[in-house]
Structure 1
Amino acid sequence: MSSAAPHVPQEIADTLAMKRRGWTLALLTTAYFFSYMDRQILAILQELIRADLHLSDTQLGLIGGLAFALFYATLGIPVARLADRGNRVNIIAIALALWSAMTAVCGLAQNFVQLLLARIGVGVGEAGSSPPSHSIIADLYPPEKRAGAMGIYSLGVVLGAALGTLIGGTVAAFYGWRAAMFTVGLPGIALAVVVKLFVVEPRRGLSDAQIVAEGEKKGAIPPLSEGFRAMFASGPAFHLVMGVTITSMIGYGHAHFGPSFLQRSLGMGITDIAWIVAPIGGVMGTISGVAGGWLANRLAVRHGLHAQSWMVFGLKSIGLPLSFLFYLSSDPWMAIPLYWLSILLVSTYLGPTFALIQGLAPLRMRALWAAITLLVINLIGLGLGPTLIGVISDLLRPQFGEESLRWAMVTFAALTPWALFHYWRAGALLKRRQQAAG
């Protein structure tokens, strides 16, 4: 069951939680996978939706970006407060059922406003997923193994985006975009029941015996304002949040309009994207997430936690030229391998970033720090990424026509060095902290 019965001795409950942590991580990753599949399916469908509902790129960006993110991000804070006090498994299960149902409702939309409201519903539901999941993972895995666990959890991003594109594109090619929404959304309701029945609710601080021994576990949960103050007073945490936010803004914008770019500028069909580009991209992202988490753990053991931040800096620096070559290419079968290779290099950042932030967070603020991170990531990254690319594309359309989207994508890629600076700086501050600790 999701939590131990009250009469079960704590030692037995702890042993059971640790024994089943692999199963728990797998189910949390699957829920995150469904979250991203439901979120990103709009990308492969939006050319069909644009034609059916007569939408502009700005409207498409709003539906996939700001309108979704406002609710997804802001509701994450109260959800995190609940997660720091109550049963995290219940929160995740209820949220999963809600966002899955609202994804299916998107298939009933007849105009921009209806689709916008349905996507807001998806955002409301998805707000209940990541903060409690991060908190559970941090309780089940000690700091030296946490980046690897978070790396596996982050596979939900690449696998969800890939499978959402594969399933959504395939169903849409034969039965239309509305059927694709139903197909992707409804199975998540059944998964919510599985999550409720089998995910472990561990004791808080289970994998941080030293912190708990020092007494941090006891006492009232700090107020929300203290969570913000403590997080942004930490130099490493501030730069990690900035780095992941800028990276996410670029990534969300590119992911949302990526299939449209492939169709408009490279002339690819929806089935080519669904059956070739997305599956291999998902494999590359999976390798990147798992290998990145493994490498981050190895670097932390050998050199210290600061090496994890510098790992992200190095791999993203190598991947940046590949991104430019991809967006500037005119031959799809020369461009796509560049895209796959760039995924392999740049998709390693989520696991180490979230693991480092959880390691820096006070024990009773872990879900709150995860929610604050996600608030900033999603208001700025998810909210502005797709929206700004849509706006830039529409502004450039009089000059570049259908190629306006290509130049909007290139503009966003050029922001990457800003994110790189913050990852470098976070590593420098973490190293200084490590040296001061002796």
Structure 2
Amino acid sequence: MRSDGDLHLNRPGRASRAPGAGAWAVLGVLCFVYVLNFLDRQLLSILAKPIQDELGVSDGQLGLLTGLYFAMFYCILAIPVGWLADRTNRVKVLAISCGLWSAATAACGLAGSYPQLAAARMAVGVGEAGGVPPSYAIISDYFPSGTRGTALSLFNMGPPIGMALGVAFGASIAAAYSWRLAFLWVGAIGVLTALIVWFMVREPKRGGLDARPVDAAVPEAEPTAVPTRSGFWETFRMFFADPVLFRIAAACAATQFITYAVLNFTVLFLMREKGMEMGEVAVWYALLILIGTSAGMVASGRLVDRFAPRGKAAYAYVPAIGLALAVPLFVAFVWAPSWPLALAFLLLPMGLNYFYLSPAVTLVQEEVRPDQRVMSGACCCWSTWWGWGWGRTYLGFASDFFQARGYENSLQLAFYTLTPFYVLAIGLFLWLARAIKQQKLEAAA
């Protein structure tokens, strides 16, 4: 890792058109933390088959484990943790959170029963509540406006890389040794990474690279000084009363209902109903996740950096168009009679489903004051409650519903029922575009 000076060539407190070299080093560290964050989240879904075989877990119970039990703590705690990070050191909050969720991930590998596994998953949710929102705010203070969309899209490469590594690593370890060993190794790596963040990443000045710095009087030697500190309820009310911020959260919730449900059950679907083997999952599905989702993250970030200066409605139209293009291909993926054909149809939707994330995160960070960025990011992440919590839980119980009625292809039928949620998500992004245009008219008046 580089020295302090190397990581901070882009001095806080001075507006800049281009980020310094140190900003890219910090972005790389934070992206790796996000990789681990998502790898930990997804590992249980990837190893669902051997876990079901050993612990006797049903599809509905799996949906609760990976969905509601996790999201219940993740979403409820994300907002107060975000408020705390806005008032204290965001880097330290991130490091502590990374250590906590990594230790809980290792505990998943030691679980001997369903209740023990559920308790460990809840602990993972507690830790991850302080993971993503502080990173968004830190990046926004290392990268000036006009480059944040690209920077945040690169940071959002964490989920596809984490998912791909989770599939490749988790499936390979499970096939060669045991599903428990995969949890233990990933947890140990996470604890080591938390120490690296704590000692080697510095806290940037809040708003130091904004077009109008929050407080030019704050000396450069005090990068963590916060001239304005919003109260908890002040920021909470501001977020949900603002039509643009509220609608972006609602649109993200509807989209995540689809994306997280699909991620949670695709491996099980491919193995149980398409005939895929664990070794094939470790190679082909991992590559699909990495290529498809990464392309969607980067492409959407570049698109909003290009088109948003011409009109902020691009933050809404880019996700809406991506989801509209994904619908027919998603239906074809569910229908496909073999796993190679299913993967071919899934490649594009895997990226298009994630056209929402980089625009949404960038819009939230641009819309609020620097001292409200972490909590506002957490408020937007609260939409995960509907996606991660209820999307996964819904799909698991939908599969149980069809299975109880004698359908052998219960997961396939459950996947089909996600199609109307695409329509809902597209409609909400168009609703967001309307709010953005109205905001522009009011500002002009």
Aligning the two structures, in what range does the TM-score lie when normalised by the shorter sequence?
over 0.9
Which residue of 2 is the match for residue 187 of structure 1? 189
Which residue of 2 is the match for residue 60 of structure 1? 62
RMSD: 2.5
Which residue of 2 is the match for residue 330 of structure 1? 337
Q: Which deviates the most, 349-358 or 183-192?
A: 183-192
Which residue of 1 is the match for residue 264 of structure 2? 256
- In the alignment, structure 1 residue 235 sits paired with structure 2 residue 243: yes
- Identity across aligned pairs (percent)? 34
Distance 1:280 1:380 in 2: 26
Q: Which deviates the most, 339-348 or 83-92?
A: 339-348
Which residue of 2 is the match for residue 123 of structure 1? 125
Which residue of 2 is the match for residue 373 of structure 1? 380
- Offset of residue 398 of structure 1: 2.3
- Offset of residue 309 of structure 1: 1.5
Secondary structure of 1:212's aligned partner: coil
Which residue of 2 is the match for residue 403 of structure 1? 409
- Offset of residue 29 of structure 1: 1.0
In structure 2, give the amino acid aligned to 1:330.
P
- In the alignment, structure 1 residue 147 sits paired with structure 2 residue 155: no
- Offset of residue 200 of structure 1: 3.0
Secondary structure of 1:402's aligned partner: coil
- Offset of residue 190 of structure 1: 1.2
In structure 2, give the amino acid aligned to 1:407.
L
- Equivalent positions of 1:218-233 (< 5 A) are 220-233=228-241
- Indicate the structure with greater helix content: 1
**Among 358, 362, 375, the residue aligned to 2:369:** 362
Q: CA 1:231 to 1:122, structure 2 compared with 1: closer, same or farther past 3 Å?
A: same
In structure 1, give the amino acid aligned to 2:83.
R
Q: 1:44·1:169 contact (CA, 8 Å) conserved in 2?
A: yes
After TM superposition, the score normalised by the length of structure 2 is 0.91
Distance 1:65 1:345 in 2: 22
Distance 2:57 2:331 in 1: 28
Distance 1:12 1:286 in 2: 30
- Equivalent positions of 1:2-401 (< 5 A) are 14=13, 18-210=20-212, 212=214, 220-301=228-309, 303-375=310-382, 377-401=383-407
Q: Which deviates the most, 356-365 or 89-98?
A: 356-365
In structure 2, give the amino acid aligned to 1:297.
D
After TM superposition, the score normalised by the length of structure 1 is 0.93
Q: Which deviates the most, 323-332 or 279-288?
A: 279-288
Distance 1:402 1:174 in 2: 29
- Offset of residue 435 of structure 1: 4.3
Deviations 1:151-172, CA, capped at 9 Å, x for gaps: 1111111111111111000000
Distance 1:279 1:358 in 2: 31
Q: CA 1:46 to 1:11, structure 2 compared with 1: closer, same or farther past 3 Å?
A: closer
Distance 2:303 2:73 in 1: 35
Distance 1:218 1:95 in 2: 22
Distance 1:143 1:437 in 2: 20
Unaligned runs of 5+ in 2: 218-224
Q: CA 1:192 to 1:257, structure 2 compared with 1: closer, same or farther past 3 Å?
A: same
In structure 2, give the amino acid aligned to 1:280.
L
- Number of corresponding residues: 433
Q: CA 1:400 to 1:150, structure 2 compared with 1: closer, same or farther past 3 Å?
A: farther
Distance 1:341 1:316 in 2: 11
